[in-house]
Amino acid sequence: MKIKSLDHLVLTVKDVKISSDFYVNVLGMEKIVFKENRIALKYGNQKINLHEFKNEFEPKAHKVMPGSADLCFIADDDITKVIHHLKSLNITILEGPIKRTGACGEIISLYIRDPDLNLIEISNYL
């Protein structure tokens, strides 16, 4: 077997509304509702499904916990424009811009935290 791509991942969050607002307003993702009451955040050809802590859907990870993820997103906008956008929303940049290695080569990255304190890396390929 050979895996082709990542379709979606699940984040366990304290508050689905607060988290979905962050990912929509800060990172420009699209909030979608599926199966009547499930929330996902769509971007490109992928999505993030949100599970509310202590009210997760089955099956789920063995030890779910808000704030345990470390995610890297590739931005369409230049990293300098991303910085300006984050500063306009009073989002603290923890580190960066700094060179890192992405899945397909060298990237320039910066780091922020989402409402659950997950580490969010926003990058451009160099």
pTM (predicted TM-score):
0.94
pLDDT of 49-104, one tens digit each?
999 999 999 999 999 999 999 999 999 999 999 999 999 999 999 999 999 999 99
Map out the domains of the chain with their CATH numbers: 8-125 (3.10.180.10)
In tens, the pLDDT along 19-62 reads: 999 999 999 999 999 998 999 999 999 999 999 999 999 999 99
Residues labelled catalytic: 121
Are the C-beta atoms of residues 26 and 65 closer than 8 Å to each other? no
pLDDT higher than 90, residue 10: yes
Q: Are strands 119-125 and 70-74 parallel, antiparallel or unpaired?
A: parallel
- Taking the C-alpha atoms of residue 12 and residue 67, their distance in angstroms, rounded to an integer, is 8
Report the b/e string of 4-17 with b at 16+ CB within 10 A: eeeeeebbbbeebe
Rounded Cα–Cα distance for residues 98 and 110 (Å): 6
**75 with 102: CB under 8 angstroms?**
no
Q: What's the residue count for the chain?
A: 126
Identify the H or E element spanning 37.
none
Question: Which position has the token pair 């060298």?
Answer: 106
Give kind and range of the element (H or E) at residue 17: helix 16-25
